[in-house]
Structure 1
């Protein structure tokens, strides 16, 4: 199995179109700091999948050599999409995949129900085959647009290779599956719990927004074997600046910050 990190930013990306915070301003001044929405490409025996369909999905496919179309004029290696939740920044890319003849979408039942309007829009364009994936419920936080009842599997962690790899870009609780994985890529949205309120982007703390902050998970993460990475960085997170001291803190713990384009061979 091969993985390629297609993006590492939280909703809005870095820079966000309407934001002039230090993280976004720094990314505009230094293009190398730009981050696309968090996503992962998975190449395995039964085909190639993208984990979460972001607004950047067309550009992300072009940036991954083994996802590009060919050799036929309309032949694509992309078999489908695996969704870890129903948030817009993880699903709106489905609309950009309407040119496919058929698309497999793997998710939990509650996420499928939330996306019924997407399915209605896409029905005249593409055949969607809904399926299950090896997902672990980790949060009951539903998207603001959803009027469905509370459910424990609104947000999930994805297990690959029988649990050897766990991908959880949004994480309200620590799933036990992380403790046994050989490679974990998890929620690094906020550095500390007060970051959203301190920076003025929300009246809620990180945990109230459904994200365990890095300060709450890094010690436990450091004790895991294998490779450990953070992804889904918000534009307010100091880690979007490569010179931030927080990078040294994580490096001393043996933890990486995922980078757009990073390839992980397993």
Structure 2
């Protein structure tokens, strides 16, 4: 299995267009940037699946040669999109895929019911919806299977609240031929026993790196809500759990513009993912 990390920033990217915080100012001066969170995975190098579709998707696809179209005029290696949330920074890029000949979209029933993009996409492409259900693995082209675990109930601001539904999920993507697996959980409000069991035995995991510490939002932006109240477990709080899984390579993504690791090296043992990074499992 190959995993291409398309974007590593939280909503708005780094630097954010209307933000002059220290992190955004530092990124502008350095000429560096992070696009919004998402990855692409393949089991055979031919069939690729996007995990989430950020507003930066077009830029991300153009910078990833493996996802170029061809050999036919409208051929594409992208077979579908797997969503972990209904948030705008994970779904707005779907509209950029409207000219696909066929688009397969995988998400929980909660997310599919909320997405305003679905009726629009139906007008443009042959849209096929696939419901992700806990305990029912889904088979993808190229020898991959996907398992899901609901991890959060954060409702996007545009959507009607539906408490206790599967608004936020973690994914475990496995290669049936090699037995290798990749866990994607970039929106994780708490490290529960269920998540600990879900991640056990994985080879690599991309985790929630939105905030570095519990006090970061207050210290860097004057916010009153804590990271967990915003649906994100800070990196410092996740580190003790990582020690229980010494065989797993952990990376952190979905970095907020206030996170110092978005523009400066992170201390060991924190490994921060970067845009364009490829993981071979």
Distance (whole Å) between structure 1 residues aligned to residue 82 and residue 222 of structure 2: 29
Q: Does residue 166 in structure 1 map to residue 190 in structure 2?
A: no
Structure 1 equivalent of residue 141 of structure 2: none
Distance (whole Å) between structure 2 residues aligned to residue 201 and residue 237 of structure 1: 14
Distance (whole Å) between structure 2 residues aligned to residue 123 and residue 241 of structure 1: 40
Structure 2 equivalent of residue 232 of structure 1: 254
Relative to structure 2, which stretch is displaced further, 41-50 or 186-195? 41-50
Distance (whole Å) between structure 2 residues aligned to residue 15 and residue 241 of structure 1: 10
Superposed, 1:75-154 pairs within 5 Å as 75-115=75-115, 117-133=116-132, 134-154=147-167
Distance (whole Å) between structure 1 residues aligned to residue 127 and residue 161 of structure 2: 22
Deviations 1:7-36 (A, max 9, x none): 1000000000000111111111112x3100
Deviations 1:133-189 (A, max 9, x none): 421100111111110411341100011116821101100122121233221110000
Q: State the shift of 1:208 in Å.
A: 0.4
Q: State the shift of 1:64 in Å.
A: 1.4
Contact 1:171–1:212, Cα closer than 8 Å, also in 2: yes
Contact 1:222–1:228, Cα closer than 8 Å, also in 2: no
Relative to structure 2, which stretch is displaced further, 161-170 or 106-115? 161-170
Superposed, 1:65-80 pairs within 5 Å as 65-80=65-80
- Secondary structure of 2:128's aligned partner: strand
Q: State the shift of 1:240 in Å.
A: 1.4
Contact 2:190–2:228, Cα closer than 8 Å, also in 1: no
Matched positions, count: 257
TM-score normalised per structure 2 = 0.87
- Secondary structure of 2:200's aligned partner: helix
* Equivalent residue in structure 2 for 1:220, among 241, 255, 259: 241
Relative to structure 2, which stretch is displaced further, 194-203 or 165-174? 194-203
Relative to structure 2, which stretch is displaced further, 123-132 or 196-205? 196-205
* Equivalent residue in structure 2 for 1:197, among 202, 218, 238: 218
Q: Cα gap change, 1:126/1:81 in structure 2, threshold over 3 Å: closer, same or farther?
A: same
Contact 1:114–1:148, Cα closer than 8 Å, also in 2: no
TM-score normalised per structure 1 = 0.92
Distance (whole Å) between structure 2 residues aligned to residue 202 and residue 2 of structure 1: 38
Relative to structure 2, which stretch is displaced further, 256-265 or 213-222? 213-222
Structure 1 equivalent of residue 143 of structure 2: none
> Which structure 1 residue ranges, 5 or more long, are not aligned?
none
Distance (whole Å) between structure 1 residues aligned to residue 40 and residue 222 of structure 2: 30
Deviations 1:85-133 (A, max 9, x none): 0000000000111111110011100000011x21111221112111134
Distance (whole Å) between structure 2 residues aligned to residue 230 and residue 77 of structure 1: 27
Q: State the shift of 1:242 in Å.
A: 2.1
Q: State the shift of 1:195 in Å.
A: 1.5
Q: Does residue 261 in structure 1 map to residue 279 in structure 2?
A: no
